Every structure is written in C-alpha cells, then in structure tokens.
Chains A and B, each alone.
Chain A
Amino acid sequence: MLTTQVLYALAGCVIVALGLRGALLHASLLQRIVAINVMGAGVFLLLIAVAYRGPGLAPDPVPHALVLTGIVVAVSATALALALARRLHAEQGDD
C-alpha cells in the first residue's frame, strides 16, 4: 500500500529533523545523546519504510539487516558516550 510507505517515510523525516534539532540545540550532554538516538531511530524508520512492499508481500530483508546493525552500533556508541559523560561529570565534581 503506497500510502503506508509514504506515511511512515514522512514520519521518519520528521523524527530525523527533530533529533537533529535536539542534538544541535541542547546544552546538556545526556539530552544531546538522547537526541542523536532519536535521529538514528528516524533514519531506521526511513530504511524500514523503504523495505515495506505491501500488506501481504514479503519485505526486502536487506534494510532490516542494516537497521539491526545500526541499532547495535547506536547502542555501543551511546554506551561509550554515557561512560565519557559520567567520567567528565566525576572529574568536574572533584576539580
């Protein structure tokens, strides 16, 4: 159903824009990390919308694999960012 793809793709674009805006504007590190995750989710939504072929038909598996890899990469990047933020916060605390 063409309209489903278009609807979800447009939602994806909006979420990417929201994420980017949040990442650029927010001052606090944690909210910037959340914003980047939201932007990532938006891009994944685009990819899966592209893979969708219609209600009964089998979707294209390649974007699914890409998004899976993307999610794992995103979580590892977030983990490292949070550890850095925590260490920075700990350093700020004592000096």
Chain B
Amino acid sequence: MNPVSLLVFDALLLLSIVGLAWASLATSDIRRGVILFMAFGLVLAVAWGRLLAPDVALAEAAIGAGLSGALLLAAAHTQPRPLPPESTNTPRNHGAVGVVLRWAVTLLCTALAGTLAWALLHVFSSTPHDMLPGAISANLAASGVSNPVTAVLLNFRAYDTLLEMAVLLTAVLGIFTLGQANPGYQPAGPVFDGLVRWLVPVLILTAGYLLWVGAHAPGGAFQAGAMLAAAGVVLRLAGRTRIGLPEGFMLRLVMAAGVGLFLLVGLTLLILGRPFLGYPQAWAGTLILMIETAAMLSIAATLVLAFLGGRPEATGVKAAANRQCEEIPRC
C-alpha cells in the first residue's frame, strides 16, 4: 500500500467513523441509533487494526460493538413502539431557550475539541516519549508472557486489572439489586436453531483459543470472556432456558472467581515475602494463565447476566426453596 492510497484509506475510514457517530446520535428512532452505534463500533475496530492495536480491535469488536450493542438493543426492544413524547430525539425545550441551549452546548463541545486538538498537535510536534515502552520491552522477558499488552495488563499494571474486575462485579451486583431477569425470548425457528447448534461450540472453542494465545499474540482474558458471553447471549436469544449459567452458590462463586483468584494469588505472594502481585519470574506464566482463566469465566458470566438484566430465574428444586426463603424475612 503506497502512502497515497494509505492516506485515501485512512480518510475514508475516518469519514465513515465520524459519519456513523454523527448518524447514530442524530436519529430520532432509538433502534436506528443503536444499530448505527454497533456499525460505528465495528468500523472503529478496523481503525484499531489500522493503528496496529489488534488486542484492542478484538475487544472493541467483541465487547464495544457486540455486547454493548446487544445490551442496548435489548433495552431499546423494551421501549414501546410509539416513543413517549418526552423521550423523542429533539431536545425537550423547542422554544428560543432550546435553540440557545443547543448552540451553547455545541459551542462548548467545539471549544473542548479545539483545546484537545491544540494540545495533541503540540504533543505530536515534539518527539514521542519512549521511556515507558522501552522499560516494558526490557522487562518483557521477566513478565512471563511475550505479548506486551497482556504483560502490561496482567503483570506490570495487574492492580488496575484487579480493580477493573471489581468494577465488573459491582455492575452485576448493582443489576441484581434491581430485580429479576427479563422474560426470555420465544424458542428459535429451525434455521436459527441450526445456526446456534453450530455457532455455540465454535464460540466456545475460539474463546479457549483466545485465552491460550493471549500469552504471546493478541488475545487474552477479556476477548475470550466476551466470546464465551456471546455464546451465552446467542443461546438466550434462541429461547433456551438453560444457557450454561450455574445456579445459586455456584453462580456467585463464578462471579467472584475473577477477583477472588487474583486477590488470593496477590496475598499468597505477599505472605511468601514477595511484593503484592509480584509474580516470581519462573511461575509468572502459569500464574497469569490461571488468573486469566478465572477472569474469563467471571467476565463471561457477568456479561451474560448483564444481558439477562437481573437475577436469573432459578429453575432447580434448591432454587425453589431459595426463592421461598427469600420472601420470609429473618429466614
């Protein structure tokens, strides 16, 4: 790709990204907005690829466009067809105040974009700081994995990832407090059912592959977790009641597994005299893989539960007892 055609490709890509972003926000119908947003996510994934960020491209496609889109569509689905007046696209106050407000906000946003651009132009004109990437490539060998992004995520800045898993756990606990899951979907027709019969095993296989390959190539726990979640979502859409989610205590265990194992490893290392989350070089690879597996399960369970939109309808006998106990206080 000679530079000129690369420039044309870049221009086209960016135009479509900005165009899709603008379109998804400009429409009045929420469904069109969400679908355009998903398209925006996918094209953005291409842009990540163009900027040599494959890990992020995978995550964007799977989580950013895929699952966020699925969540938004599920929510948009519950909106009654004729949108109630107050939630139409055009802002509430149409009068003079509305116009002034819109102009003021637009002005504010352009000013914000201007300052950002001005600061970034200044940054790009000076030589980029390579102090941190240099240190990473120097310490990559000691990190137990060869993919630098996974090394940063799970070794150098492991503490960030631990807290990020806690964020996921908080989100799903918050969703649980808000009530029961949405009603399920009607059973799928033969074609969709056939597709599901093939698609789900493939999704599970790719999830396993992505988990394993993350150590030395783009991939890792988040992308694998998203794949697994996709399998669960597809089963849910096909109207299946059992979508592979454990129940009761096991479900809570899986949800807590990601953060729990991470914390357990960190604390045992601390007890053994090493710094918190400071994996010994010999064990780093296996430890990271162990943590990533637990993280994958937790992420998958969390994202599926988010798609369900609430506490899953317990089906088993024990669950019935559990539900009955729920109602009587002091149980």
Question: Could you list which residues of chain A lie within 8 angstroms of chain B, going by C-beta atoms?
Answer: 1-22, 24-31, 33-35, 37-38, 41-42, 44-46, 48-53, 55, 58-62, 64-65, 67-69, 71-80, 82-87, 89-90
Question: Which of B55, B123, B174 has a CB less than 8 Å from the CB of A83?
Answer: B174
Closest 6 CB pairs of A and B: A79-B306, A76-B171, A28-B87, A61-B148, A17-B113, A22-B25
Q: Is the interface of B mostly helix, strand, loop or mixed?
A: helix
Given contacts A6-B124, A65-B152, 18 further A-B contacts (CB under 8 A): A4-B51, A11-B14, A13-B117, A25-B102, A27-B91, A30-B76, A35-B25, A38-B25, A38-B37, A44-B60, A59-B53, A65-B157, A69-B153, A69-B164, A76-B302, A78-B72, A83-B310, A87-B178
**Is B75 located at the chain interface by the 8 A CB criterion?**
yes
Residues of A near B137 (CB, < 8 A) are 58
Total chain B interface residues with beta-carbon distance under 8 A: 95
Residues of A near B30 (CB, < 8 A) are 28, 30-31
Give the complex CA separation of A85 and B270 in angstroms: 42
Surface stretch bound by A, among B63-71, B197-205, B260-268: B63-71
Are A8 and B25 in contact, with the CB atoms below 8 A?
Answer: no
Which of A1, A16, A22 has the most B CB atoms < 10 Å from its CB? A22
Are A76 and B123 in contact, with the CB atoms below 8 A?
Answer: no
Least CB distance from A92 to B in Å reads 9
Total residue contacts A-B, CB cutoff 8 A: 254
Which of B51, B102, B137, B222 has the most A CB atoms < 10 Å from its CB? B51
Give the complex CA separation of A90 and B18 in angstroms: 34
Least CB distance from B60 to A in Å reads 6
Residues of A near B172 (CB, < 8 A) are 76, 79
Closest to A60 in B: B133
Least CB distance from B145 to A in Å reads 11
Are A64 and B40 in contact, with the CB atoms below 8 A?
Answer: no
Are B152 and A61 in contact, with the CB atoms below 8 A?
Answer: yes
Are A27 and B51 in contact, with the CB atoms below 8 A?
Answer: no
Are B170 and A41 in contact, with the CB atoms below 8 A?
Answer: no
Are A48 and B14 in contact, with the CB atoms below 8 A?
Answer: no
Surface stretch bound by A, among B41-49, B232-240, B248-256, B281-289: B41-49
